[in-house]
Amino acid sequence: MQDKLILGIESSCDETAAAVVKGGRTVLSNVISSQIDIHTLYGGVVPEIASRKHTERINQVIRHALSDAHVTLSDIDAIAVTYGPGLVGALLVGVAEAKAISFATGIDLVGVHHIEGHISANYIEHADLEPPFLSLVVSGGHTHLVNVTGFGEYEILGRTRDDAAGEAFDKVARAIGLGYPGGPKIDKVAKEGDPDAIAFPRAHVNASAYDFSFSGLKSAVLNYLNSCEMKGEQIVVADVAASFQKAVVDVLVENSMLACREHGAKKFALAGGVASNSALRKAMQEACDREGIGFYMPSPIFCTDNAAMIAVAGYYEYEKGVRSGLDLNAVPNLPLGTR
């Protein structure tokens, strides 16, 4: 089982990606064809365009992943494909492609949950990491605090009540004129700003200490921008970016550490596109060091959408005997932990 080769396929949003992973931990290839340039023209992801671009690129991306790994389809033991959550038309391209290859070759098929993929990205560069551990998944569509009790076994402790963390980054970036995609741009500009310049609120959800809410923070930034405009005051973009980013990071770190303490967690893993944020990585590392908790995070290339993480998650599902049929369908709102 150790050396099983998994071909991963990911097309849930705006990256067309394929990868080959050996034994669940060793990435032999990781090809990502980003559509960011096209969607930037429209200020965000246009679902119809995303599906069309996935269709145009997917065959080429898979061929590229196989050739980079110096393997052919006959070497592949299973195909792991994201089947949800995500944009339905985008997901369908990857799912249809994976089913077609499986049907034509007889290679086993494993449907993978996108968030399970993000969490599993941590296994790639940390050979020692095994469940149980707590994980914070922060992406464009999700903000989940998860107790990973076993490979492929998840208990959701907290989630966002409104906007996802990445969504808040993207909306605030648009408001301060940085454009799409907002997260990396705020990350960069914030380095030149003062994180204590503006006192933006740290939102806490009273009913659940592990839940998040970012819409109030987003409104606070918009109100601040409006009031500056009305008073004729110059906006210091770097200060707004740094102060907003600090407010998000503070809440993410605080809730995560509370969950770690209350669950007696010894290990904590960051995941998702926002996990590539430099301020969050630094703050979470420092907090875990303070609390004496082992801290894990993927390299930035494995934080944002990629197919290596899907292949890794697929490997552990495959190892448990999970197989999907040719009736596998795209499920845009797939809940974590359904099988």
Interface with ligand KG4 (CB under 6 A): 13, 139-141, 166, 169-170, 181-184, 187, 272-274, 276-277, 304-305
Q: Is 29 in the site for Zn ion (CB under 5 A)?
A: no
Kind plus residue range of the DSSP H or E element containing 285: helix 278-291
Question: How far apart (Å, rounded) are the C-alpha atoms in residues 131 and 176?
Answer: 40
Question: How far apart (Å, rounded) are the C-alpha atoms in residues 192 and 172?
Answer: 17
- Closest by CA to 117, choosing from 302, 328, 327, 325, is 302
- Residue 166 partner contact from Zn ion, ligand KG4, none using kind-dependent CB cut-offs of 5 to 8 Å: ligand KG4
How large is the angle between the packed helices 237-263 and 278-291, nearest 10 degrees? 30
Q: Cβ of residue 140: shortest distance to ligand KG4, in angstroms?
A: 3
How far is residue 285 from each of residues 22, 29, 288, 291, 292, measured CA to CA in Å? 29, 28, 5, 10, 10
- Residue 117 partner contact from Zn ion, ligand KG4, none using kind-dependent CB cut-offs of 5 to 8 Å: none
Other residues' Cβ atoms within 10 Å of the Cβ of residue 59: 13
The structure tokens listed for 223 are: 């109100």
Count of residues that interact with Zn ion, criterion CB under 5 A: 2
Q: Cβ of residue 8: shortest distance to Zn ion, in angstroms?
A: 13
The structure tokens listed for 3 are: 């050396």
Question: How far apart (Å, rounded) are the C-alpha atoms in residues 79 and 97?
Answer: 10
What separation, in Å, do the N-terminal and C-terminal C-alpha atoms of the chain show?
Answer: 22
Q: Indicate the residue among 11 and 304 with the shorter CB distance to ligand KG4.
A: 304
- Residue 184 partner contact from ligand KG4, Zn ion, none using kind-dependent CB cut-offs of 5 to 8 Å: ligand KG4
Q: Cβ of residue 218: shortest distance to ligand KG4, in angstroms?
A: 13
Q: Cβ of residue 180: shortest distance to Zn ion, in angstroms?
A: 16
Q: Is 135 in the site for Zn ion (CB under 5 A)?
A: no
Q: Indicate the residue among 30 and 139 with the shorter CB distance to Zn ion.
A: 139
The structure tokens listed for 46 are: 């246009």
Of 196-204, 274-282, 301-309, 330-338: span binding Zn ion (CB under 5 A): 301-309
Q: Indicate the residue among 97 and 305 with the shorter CB distance to Zn ion.
A: 305
- Residue 314 partner contact from ligand KG4, Zn ion, none using kind-dependent CB cut-offs of 5 to 8 Å: none
12 three-class SS: coil
Of residues 139, 143, 255, 276, which one binds Zn ion by CB under 5 A? 139
Q: Indicate the residue among 34 and 329 with the shorter CB distance to ligand KG4.
A: 34
- Residue 85 partner contact from ligand KG4, Zn ion, none using kind-dependent CB cut-offs of 5 to 8 Å: none
Of residues 11, 305, 309, 318, which one binds Zn ion by CB under 5 A? 305
Q: Cβ of residue 201: shortest distance to ligand KG4, in angstroms?
A: 19
Q: Cβ of residue 284: shortest distance to ligand KG4, in angstroms?
A: 13
Q: Cβ of residue 147: shortest distance to Zn ion, in angstroms?
A: 20
Is the CB of residue 118 less than 8 Å from the CB of residue 183?
no
CB-based burial of residue 196 (10 Å sphere; 0-12 exposed, 13-18 middle, 19+ buried)? exposed
301 three-class SS: helix
Cβ-based neighbours of 322, under 8 Å, separated by 6 or more: 110, 152, 339
Q: Give me the residues that bind Zn ion (CB under 5 A), please.
A: 139, 305
